[in-house]
Structure 1
């Protein structure tokens, strides 16, 4: 129903968010390699490096013998099912990630992003203990960035492309835009949606961001800012 285009939230502590841009570049590069694979190899890469609950729980052998079971809690976040899946995640990361890197610092932001990926995967695993399909995508980690944004910059204006009658850009407070997003995820969990979307990973990543951001932010960065 909407896509973020940009925000009116200037960085105050770093001149260039190279970690955020690096994560975007690496994720796109990984998918570019995926996209060049024949269909069978593409699917095998998803099995090898996606997060499969029964593999992480050691109920089924790891497809890549040299890869520890826990490593899939991270590697899955750099794989995507298709270009739309990739570009949607990267758009959200582009809009919101630079300010979270600014608020945390470069090194802490990288740790934060990977931690949100892991916690999102664990949330998915917790509600899909017998799952035998691979979890793919940066959605959980990006949801963590969005969770951090809603507690650090809820008053910042986000310009979103909203489809009312025709798509038009609208400026809305981040709290309402991100609040609507998380409410949508909760709605689909409650109704038991059959869509192939990892709703629990989104919720787990978002919750991780809400909890971790206040603990990891710079002292000079207040909560509930963005005015």
Structure 2
């Protein structure tokens, strides 16, 4: 319902958010490799490198013998089902990631992003203990970035493309847009949904971002800022 276009939140502490853009570039490159595969190989790649709960729980053997079971808690976040899945996640990362990298520093942001991916996957696993389908997509890790953003910069103006009757660009506070997003995830996660969306991965990633943002922020970056 809402797609972020950009935010009015210039970076202050780093010259260039190369980790954010690097993650976007690597994720797009991985998808280009996926997209070049025949359909059967594309599907096999999601099985091999996606996070499958019964594999991580060691109830079923790892499809790739040389890959540790735990590794898919990270690799899944660089795979996507289609172009729309990819571009939506990368748009959110592009809008919100640079400011979180600025607030944390490059190395801490990279560790944060990967930690949110792992914690999002574990949240999905917790609610799908016997799941035999692969979890793929960066949305859990990106949700962590969004969780950190709403804690650090809730009042920043975010320009979103909103579908009300027709598509309209609107400036809204970050807490309004991101708050609506997480409430939607909670709603569908709690009532259940037939859509193939990993609601609990989103919720888990967002919660991880909220928890990790305060201790990881650099000195001088306050909470609830961005007015």
Shorter-chain TM-score category? over 0.9
The answer on 1:191 being equivalent to 2:162 is no
**Cα deviation, residue 163, structure 1:** 1.3
Superposed CA offset, 1:137-167 (max 9, x none): 0000000000000000000000000112221
**Cα deviation, residue 207, structure 1:** 0.1
SS for the counterpart of 1:209 is helix
Aligned counterpart, 1:13: 13
Aligned counterpart, 2:73: 73
Could you say what the CA RMSD is over the residues aligned between the two structures, in angstroms?
A: 0.5
**Cα deviation, residue 197, structure 1:** 0.2
**Cα deviation, residue 63, structure 1:** 0.5
Aligned counterpart, 1:167: 167
Superposed CA offset, 1:99-152 (max 9, x none): 000000000000000000000000000010000000000000000000000000
Superposed CA offset, 1:20-44 (max 9, x none): 0000000000000000000000000
**Cα deviation, residue 224, structure 1:** 0.2
How many pairs were matched up?
Answer: 227
The answer on 1:90 being equivalent to 2:84 is no
Unaligned segments of structure 1, at least 5 residues: none
**Cα deviation, residue 168, structure 1:** 1.2
1: distance between equivalents of 2:177 and 2:13?
25
Aligned counterpart, 1:215: 215
1: distance between equivalents of 2:78 and 2:16?
22
Superposed CA offset, 1:170-209 (max 9, x none): 0000000000000000110122111100000000000000
Aligned counterpart, 1:32: 32
